[in-house]
Every structure is written in structure tokens, then in C-alpha cells.
Homo-oligomer: A and B are copies of this chain.
């Protein structure tokens, strides 16, 4: 089976200027891949000339006349942008013309539209956003929810744990990924009610390998494969991470630019600095999944470059090959049949 991936070619900060080259790069690297570029045909078409027949025959364009702005309200996009590249790409998944879609567009609009068009899986109240982050072990830690839900109930956290477990199995080929619930360190006030209750629910099932509470630093220690949390908390953790990494990067640049001596040292150390940066390069980890939908939807960072956007396409391919939504469904069905969740 050859994965058919629909790309929202107009989404993100750079639109087709990044997404078309990323599509072409992926098709030249992967024989078993078909891509549908969704967007303004008159813009996209000229960008495809001069490419080999092998690539072009696995690439098609689906015209879409509208565009969701990066700062547009999700409700507005949902009502007024029925012919947007984002909406049409999601429709292709719904109509089974594509196996997955990838967009670098407006996250809120993507979530709202995907939820409206595709609907959630049986047993899932709301979808969640999951992404992989680097850790000290040199592997990745999957964290969800990163901002789709706030004031998450224990039942939702429980559902997130199941979805995260399936994703980590699929993406990292782990047999029984370990799951931790994000909490804070003080024993007596440890956790709010939903975290405490979710811990009880997770301890009662054998379908996921729940190992207990973890703290913010465990994400980067690699203590667990999947960290489950409320979307407000997860989003703050993600943005805080970006902030710390950028600050350190800025201090590094500043320090090596101070004078002639530091500049020369910087030149000598450059390959090492690059190798360090490579280990945490966010472009490698680009491609967050909107989990819990009846279809595969991947969100790329809005400012993704070509390399970065190809990571998001690869994420989509893996989820198609492993059929992540149906695996999630399967576990939830088992639990529902055993009447252990409602």
C-alpha cells in the first residue's frame, strides 16, 4: 500500500515556497509515496516543471481557491473558508482520496476543521495534539496534549494516555511504551483532582504501561516514552522549552561574537557546536499529530523550512503505515466492551 498524503500547500509562513519543494524532495527520496498538493493551481503548477516523470506521476494538484490566514479565528475559518486549501486537504482524507493530510497553517483552525470534518473516534471526547521532543538518552519523549484542550478531565487524560501509547508504539517501534502523568513535586498537594483520578483509571487497565507521576524535567531525561498532561500545562511546557533553548542559543552566539579571539575560537569549535545543535534541532522533531480523529492529520510548525516540512510528511507516512487511528479505536473498543470506561 502506497501512502497518499494531501498537503495544504498554501499553509504556513512560506506557503508553496516551502511546501512544494518539500513535496518534491520527499517524492525523490521515497518511491512508495503519492502526494496531492492542495491550493492555488496557478501558483503551484509552474513550480513543478523540470521534474522527472517518476516524480510527477506520483504528484497531483487539487485546486482550492481560498486560504486560511495564520491569525484567523478558527470559527471564522470553519464558516467562511469552505474552499480553503486546509479544508479541501482534510476533505480528501474524509473522502478517502488521501490517507493523511499535513498542514503548516493556523493550528486552531486546523483542529476545529479536522474535528468538524473527520469527527472523533468512538470513545474519544476531544482530539489532542502530540509531539516528540528530544531527550538526554538520544531518543524522543512524546508529549500530549500540547494545547488543544484546557481544564482536561481525568477521563480525557486517560484517553490521551491510550492515544499516546499507540502513537509511541507506531512511531518508535516500541512494544510497550511507558506512560507518565505530568504532576508537581509536593507530596501533600500532589496534583489536582483530574490528575489523581486519571492515575487511578490508568492503574486499573493493562492496555497501557502506566508507570506513575513524572515532573517537567522528566520530559528531557527520557524517564518515560509518553508524558500525558492537560493542554494548558503542555503548551506552557513546550513554549517554555522553546524560550530556554532560544535564550541559551542567543547567549552562545553572543559569547562567540564578543571579540576577535572568541570569533576564532568559534570557528574552531563550529563543527562541535553544530553537532550539539543537531541533537536538539527542532526541525527534526517537526510534525505534531492531531490524535483522536477518524483520520490522520499532521500539524507542521508554521515557520517550517523544507527539511522541517519533510519531517512532518514522514510522520504522516508512518502513521498511515501503522494505521494509528484504527489501533486507537481497537484499544478503546476493547475497553468499552469490557465496560471499564464509558
- On A, residues with C-beta under 8 Å from B are 73-75, 107-108, 134-136, 147, 149-151, 182, 184-189, 191-192, 215-221, 229, 231-233, 235-248, 250-252, 255-256, 258, 262, 265-266, 268-269, 272, 275-276, 279-280
Question: Are A192 and B237 interface neighbours, CB within 8 A?
Answer: no
Cross-interface CB contact of A245 among B192, B215, B248, cutoff 8 Å: B248
* Most chain B beta-carbon neighbours within 10 Å: one of A151, A241, A248: A248
What's the minimum C-beta distance from A46 to chain B, rounded to whole angstroms? 35
For A245, the closest partner residue in chain B by CB is B244
Q: A233-B233, A240-B237 are in contact. Are A150 and B192 (CB under 8 A)?
A: yes
A248: chain B residues at CB < 8 Å are 245, 248, 276, 280
A245: chain B residues at CB < 8 Å are 244, 248
| Count of chain copies | 2
Question: Are A275 and B255 interface neighbours, CB within 8 A?
Answer: yes
A147: chain B residues at CB < 8 Å are 184-186
A237: chain B residues at CB < 8 Å are 216, 236-237, 240
Cross-interface CB contact of A280 among B251, B265, B269, cutoff 8 Å: B251
Question: Are B232 and A244 interface neighbours, CB within 8 A?
Answer: no
A279: chain B residues at CB < 8 Å are 251
Question: Are B247 and A192 interface neighbours, CB within 8 A?
Answer: no
Q: In the bound complex, how far is the Cα of B188 from the Cα of A191, in angstroms?
A: 27
Instruction: State the main secondary structure of chain A at its contact with B.
Output: helix
Question: Are B247 and A276 interface neighbours, CB within 8 A?
Answer: no
Q: A108-B187, A187-B108, A269-B265 are in contact. Are A235 and B216 (CB under 8 A)?
A: yes
Q: A184-B147, A251-B279, A280-B248 are in contact. Are A216 and B239 (CB under 8 A)?
A: yes
Cross-interface CB contact of A188 among B108, B188, B268, B269, cutoff 8 Å: B108
Q: A244-B245, A255-B272, A268-B265 are in contact. Are A216 and B187 (CB under 8 A)?
A: no
Known: A150-B189, A269-B269; 18 extra A-B contacts, CB below 8 A, are A107-B185, A135-B247, A149-B189, A184-B235, A185-B239, A215-B235, A215-B239, A216-B239, A217-B239, A217-B242, A217-B246, A220-B243, A220-B244, A240-B241, A241-B244, A248-B280, A251-B276, A262-B272
Q: A216-B239, A243-B218, A247-B134 are in contact. Are A265 and B272 (CB under 8 A)?
A: yes
Question: Are A187 and B236 interface neighbours, CB within 8 A?
Answer: no
Question: Are A188 and B75 interface neighbours, CB within 8 A?
Answer: yes
Question: Are A217 and B240 interface neighbours, CB within 8 A?
Answer: yes
For A237, the closest partner residue in chain B by CB is B240
Q: In the bound complex, how far is the Cα of B270 from the Cα of A265, in angstroms?
A: 10
A240: chain B residues at CB < 8 Å are 216-217, 219-220, 237, 240-241, 244
Question: Are B108 and A184 interface neighbours, CB within 8 A?
Answer: no
Question: Are A272 and B244 interface neighbours, CB within 8 A?
Answer: no
The 3 closest A-B pairs by CB, nearest first: A216-B239, A217-B243, A220-B243
What's the minimum C-beta distance from A214 to chain B, rounded to whole angstroms? 10
A272: chain B residues at CB < 8 Å are 255-256, 258, 262, 265-266
